Amino acid sequence: MSNLIITIGRQFGSGGRQIGRRLAEELGIDFYDRALITAAAKKSGFSEELFEMMDKRATNSLLYSLSMFGGSGVNGMSLTDQLYLTQANLIREFADKGSCVIVGRCADHILREYPNRFDLFISAPIEDRIRRIQSSPDREFEGNKSPQSTLEKMDKQRATYYNYYTGKVWGKADHYDLCINAGRLGIDKSVELILNFVNGLKE
């Protein structure tokens, strides 16, 4: 059996990253998200600051940053495209190395040819998401924005990035094997349910 690959797309503040980490722990497999970026930065020679900056850009339009960085790279590729390709190569290396959970970064699309893959999408009610981002110690928010507009902006950014690089629609149920509103069960029971699904997969 090939490596088990669990990819997770998630609304901002939904608890998707936390669920991913818990799944990896329960299954005893690797977990990748922000660590992925750092690894990519080191490996590719991009400056880590550039990745961080692009990642945190709360712009409404990826196209803006695409044009901003467009044409300034080597091989006629924009820096954004180079970054995407670098991350895609790393994601494939991780998936080849062993079973793992990968959060975000279009991993479902990048690994679409990997047969033993399980694609998750996590959502949550807006109140839960606001509570989560407000209590999160490692998040930075724009002080003059409401939590709701921050969430909307981040989701829009994720959707634009995903749609641009995959040609699919972020958060459309039929792209995924399982989509959960984590607010209905809470994190623990959501993790349990996902494990039941993964363990029940048809052979």
Residues 134-153 that bind a copy of itself (CB under 8 A): none
97 forms part of the interface with a copy of itself (CB under 8 A): no
* Stretch touching a copy of itself by CB under 8 A, among 41-49, 73-81, 103-111, 173-181: 173-181
Q: Which stretch binds a copy of itself (CB under 8 A): 16-24, 65-73, 96-104, 116-124?
A: 116-124
Interface with a copy of itself includes 181 (CB under 8 A)?
yes
Q: What is the CA radius of gyration of the chain?
A: 17
Contact by Cβ (8 Å): 181, 121: no
Please, which residues have CB within 8 angstroms of residue 67's CB and are 6 or more apart in sequence? none
Q: How many residues bind a copy of itself (CB under 8 A)?
A: 25
CB nearer to a copy of itself: pick between 71 and 186? 186
Candidate list 32, 84, 165, 176; residue touching a copy of itself; CB under 8 A: 176
**185 near a copy of itself, judged by CB under 8 A:** yes
| Shortest distance, position 158 Cβ to a copy of itself, whole Å | 12
Q: What is the 3-state secondary structure (H, E, C) of 60-122?
A: CCHHHHHHHHCCCCCCCCCHHHHHHHHHHHHHHHHHHHCCEEEECCCHHHHCCCCCCEEEEEE
Give the C-alpha distances (Å, rounded to integers) separating 70 from 45, 62, 63, 128, 154: 18, 11, 10, 37, 22
Among 186, 187, 191, 203, binds a copy of itself (CB under 8 A): 186
The Cα 198–Cα 158 span in angstroms is: 26
Which residue type sits at 102? I
Element holding 70 (H helix, E strand): none
Q: How far is the CB of 175 from a copy of itself (least distance, A)?
A: 9
Interface pattern 6-45 for a copy of itself (x via CB under 8 A): -----x----------------------------------
Q: Which is nearer to a copy of itself, 97 or 172 (CB)?
A: 172
Token couple for 57: 């850009």
Give the residues lining the site for a copy of itself (CB under 8 A): 11, 118, 121, 123, 171-174, 176-181, 184-186, 189, 192-193, 196-197, 200-202
